[in-house]
Amino acid sequence: MSKQGRGELSPRVSKLAKKLMCREIDVVELRLMAYLHYVMVNNQHIDPDKVNGEEWEIMIKWVAEKRMAEDTEGKKLKITKEFWDTLSEIIYLAYVDL
């Protein structure tokens, strides 16, 4: 069995993501999850210069899935506790438990 690379969408990461997200994800979404996790721990604001069109579409999907919302007053992101837990589990498997 080959060693999983850091941030790789390996079969075990894909399997966990499908279980937790109730759908498949791609490597772009996986890496966006890591960025979102960082953002939520720090300033809770997405830097538009660090997100491309494909990533904006993924975030729009997360909003539609009720995983994430924008606070229109303060312009800070909000995510559900369930989505935070999902991000944490997927990121742990993809970036930490290699």
pTM score: 0.90
The C-alpha atoms of residue 4 and residue 94 are separated, in whole angstroms, by 8
pLDDT of residue 88: 97
pLDDT of residue 74: 64
pLDDT of residue 73: 67
pLDDT in tens, 20-33: 999 999 999 999 99
Instruction: Fill in the DSSP letter of residue 76.
Output: -
**Which residue stretches of the chain have pLDDT < 50?**
none
